[in-house]
Amino acid sequence: MLGQLIIEGLAIGACYGLFGIAVVIIYKTSEVVNFGQGEMAMFSTYITYHLLTAYNVPFWLAYILTMIFAALLGMLIELLFLRPAKNPNLLGLIVITLGAEMLLMGLASWKWGAEQKEFSLPFTVLKTHEPIKGLIINDWSIAVFVTAAVLMILLFIFFKYTKLGIAMRATQQNQHAAKIMGVRVERVFSFSWGFSSFIGATAAMFFAGRATLDPAFMMDPFMRAFAASVLGGLMSIPGVVIGGELLGLIENLFGYLWPEWKPIVAFIVIVLVLCIRPSGLFVKHYVKKV
């Protein structure tokens, strides 16, 4: 029983981590906390849904088309909403991204209505395996684990060895210095938004496959994923995955004992952790200069 709870918690935690990676990539390069992340992913998932139901496109083709759309959507939001703002402060950035969230949510509910819809993935929670006696694992969890692991390895290589990854890290450390060294900072931002939107959309499809699809379905997962990335310090990609796993585990075990308080346990954990380590678990806390 305990093993089962742990597996389930790890699976949902990996999904939080996956979505948290999307939050972290944007924060890592541009120091923007993207509150619109959830709705960007939600909109992309609806595009898949639309392709699947209205045009009967096979799933994998729909997936590829959606990913192209998601990347373009991320770039477009960066281009239209964030770039024109002149040196916005943190509150300004929060308001802009929340505005993008409201806009996308309004558009999605205008287009598809507010009712819940079925969204079927090739990997369902219904198809289960039993590798060890008494330990059941479903297709959905396996797919999430594999995706998260592959993505983490790829991202590690990407940030360590490729030119673009190094440019992204340079931009994060000092935007102006990066510009002087010949990095086109705007292009880096644009890329990181597109990339993050793409990862977010993938994670959102996992969430939609587990539950149902409606315009507000990404709000809860987004907040959990955001909490997970805060737990990991908003900067490190291994940190956010570990944060997501921790959150998923705690939530699942706690939810088993007191089911009615399950939705809020994540926030209590977050506040407690932040009180002890104000910048998250895996990031050094820098003292600010005046």
List residues near another protein by CB under 8 A.
Answer: 27, 33, 81, 84-86, 88, 90-92, 94-96, 98-107, 109-114, 215, 219, 223, 226-227, 230, 234, 260-261, 263-264, 266-268, 270-271, 274-275, 278-280, 288, 290
Min CB(234)–another protein separation in Å: 7
How many Cα atoms sit within 13 Å of 84 on the Cβ side? 6
Nearer to another protein by C-beta: 104 or 144? 104
Cα angle 82, 84, 90 (rounded to 5 degrees) comes to: 45
Residue 195 has, within 13 A of its CA and on its CB side, a CA count of: 21
Can you tell me the distance from the alpha carbon of 219 to that of 42, in angstroms, rounded to the nearest whole number? 9
Hey, what amino acid is at 51?
Answer: L
Least separation in angstroms between residue 272's CB and another protein is 9
> Least distance from C-beta 26 to another protein, angstroms?
11
Residue 289 neighbours by CB distance under 10 Å:
4
Residue among 114 and 177 whose Cβ is closer to another protein = 114
Q: How far is the CB of 133 from another protein (least distance, A)?
A: 38
If the CB atoms of residues 180 and 275 are measured against another protein, the closer one turns out to be: 275
Tokens of 249: 């585990």
Q: Pick between residue 88 and residue 165 the one whose CB is nearest to another protein.
A: 88
Tell me how far, at minimum, the Cβ of 8 lies from another protein, in Å: 22
Shortest spacing between CB 93 and another protein, in angstroms: 8
Name residues whose C-beta falls within 8 Å of residue 220's C-beta, 6 or more positions apart in sequence.
263
Rg over alpha carbons for the chain, rounded to the nearest Å, is 19
**Shortest Å distance, C-beta 52 to another protein:** 18
Nearer to another protein by Cβ, of 129 and 285: the residue is 285
- The smaller minimum CB distance to another protein, of residues 95 and 185, is found at 95
Rounded to an integer, what distance in angstroms lies between the CA atom of residue 86 and that of residue 1? 55
Task: Give CA–CA dist 283/281, Å, rounded.
Answer: 6
Cβ closest to another protein, residue 95 vs residue 136 = 95
CB of 265 to another protein, least distance (A): 10
List phi, psi (to 5°) of 277: -125, 100
Alpha-carbon span 178 to 185, nearest angstrom: 7
Count the Cβ atoms, other than its own, within 10 Å of residue 139.
Answer: 17
CA 226 vs. chain centroid, Å, equals: 8
If the CB atoms of residues 122 and 263 are measured against another protein, the closer one turns out to be 263
Cα(267)–Cα(281) distance, integer angstroms: 15
